[in-house]
Amino acid sequence: MSLRQFCDALLSLGMQDAVNLDGGGSSRLYAAGRCVNRPTGERVIANVIAAWEEQDLSRQSIVCVDAGHGVQTAGKRSPDGSYLEHEFNLDVARRLRTHLERCGAAVVMTREDENDVSLAQRCRISNESGADVFVSVHTNAASGGWSDAQGWSAHIIARGAGAEKLAECIRARAVPMLGCVDRGVKVDNFQVLRDTDCPAVLIEHGFHTNRAEVEKLKTAQYRELCALSDARGVADYLGLAWKEPAGTASGTGVQATATRRQAVYDAQGREESGRYIDAGDRCTLGAVTAQLLIEVEYPTASGTRRAYVKSLEAFKR
């Protein structure tokens, strides 16, 4: 069988580590969950030694959060200049750190300000920290100005190991939470994916060259959903118990209570006359739409009804 097929078989048995006895340089070799060689591809292998070892679940998980491109990287902005990717990356990375630390993870940041950090230095920071996973925050772009290209994607160095599992965990949270187009998990030879020792994922949270999508990427509420979906996926992968943030409700599928009476809107953003969510109503918050409306299910005398609100400020968990 191929390396990919063999890896899938081992993973299905709960396998964590394998030693390849093929001797070639193009098969990926993992030890203690980390890639210890720099392969050129995937090969068919015939021999392997597999060993199972009890994990120390008491050790604190370490997550390296990479805030992607900094201010010095040219061209990372919307065509009209109203959106700057470096600002989004750092904002979402900081929010992601907050959620992960609340759930008990130790978080290492590759940058704390607007300035760029080299690709090699980002990998070095992650490797020297002993990170269990590496998550790089980005938004995507299509060439030639404004484009119809849209959607969320995750990028990994190869299929069949921890990075793919991590990416799929995040994807399972992000697509329904963001209500976005799913572009899937893709294999790319990016340096931050290739030269990090732990499972590494680069996430494109949408296209800043799409007029509708960039308007969402500019908003604090959508950025919070991006950070939440990333954090939930990482927590799922690491087996961390999720702890809901205190205060204002901010997640898709969250049960929340209205703190005051507020108007509701239709899918086009038109206020629905005579319909309201009353203070104390228990509601379910849904995805953010392209019009920056938040889906909500709320109780009425005749049963549950679905509509939209324009802000999450008047909801508490």
Residue 194: CATH number of its domain: 3.40.630.40
Report the alpha-carbon distance of residue 44 to residue 103 in Å, rounded: 40
In a shared domain, residues 167 and 225: yes
Last residue of a domain, one of 169, 204, 238: 238
In a shared domain, residues 176 and 273: no
Task: Please say whether the beta carbons of 164 and 185 come within 8 A.
Answer: yes
Residue 286, pLDDT score: 80
At residue 78's C-alpha, the angle toward residues 195 and 168, to 5°, is: 40
Find residue 19's DSSP bridge partners. 49
At residue 148, what is the residue type? D
In a shared domain, residues 35 and 143: no
Residue 179, pLDDT score: 83
**Structural domain contains residue 247:** no
The domain spanning residue 293 has which CATH number?
2.30.30
| Nearest alpha carbon to residue 311 among 299, 298, 297, 294 | 294
Instruction: Per residue of the chain (317 residues), give pLDDT as tens.
Output: 566 666 666 766 666 666 666 555 556 666 555 665 556 555 544 455 666 555 555 689 999 999 999 888 877 999 999 999 999 999 999 999 999 999 999 999 999 999 999 999 999 999 999 999 999 999 999 988 999 999 999 999 999 899 999 999 999 999 988 889 999 999 999 999 999 999 999 999 999 999 999 999 998 888 988 999 999 999 999 999 988 766 444 455 678 899 999 999 998 889 999 999 999 999 998 876 656 688 899 999 999 999 999 877 788 86
In a shared domain, residues 264 and 233: no
36, exposed or middle or buried, with CB in 10 Å at 0-12, 13-18, 19+?
exposed
- Check the CA dihedral 103-109-112-116 and report its sign: negative
Residue 244, pLDDT score: 73
In a shared domain, residues 105 and 226: yes
Which phi and psi (to 5°) does residue 22 adopt? -65, -40
In a shared domain, residues 226 and 264: no
In a shared domain, residues 183 and 310: no
In a shared domain, residues 47 and 79: no
In a shared domain, residues 30 and 106: no
In a shared domain, residues 179 and 300: no
The residue segments making up the domain with residue 19 are: 3-51
Q: What is the largest CA-CA distance in the chain?
A: 73
**Structural domain contains residue 31:** yes
**Structural domain contains residue 57:** no
**Structural domain contains residue 245:** no
In a shared domain, residues 150 and 289: no
Residue 311, pLDDT score: 78
In a shared domain, residues 83 and 232: yes
Task: Please say whether the beta carbons of 135 and 173 come within 8 A.
Answer: no
DSSP string, 74-98: TT-B-TTSS-BHHHHHHHHHHHHHH
How many domains are there within the chain? Answer: 3
Residue 268, pLDDT score: 86
**Structural domain contains residue 56:** no
**Structural domain contains residue 19:** yes
| Nearest alpha carbon to residue 148 among 209, 197, 98 | 209
**Structural domain contains residue 277:** yes
Residue 71, pLDDT score: 87
Report the alpha-carbon distance of residue 306 to residue 314 in Å, rounded: 17
**Structural domain contains residue 248:** no
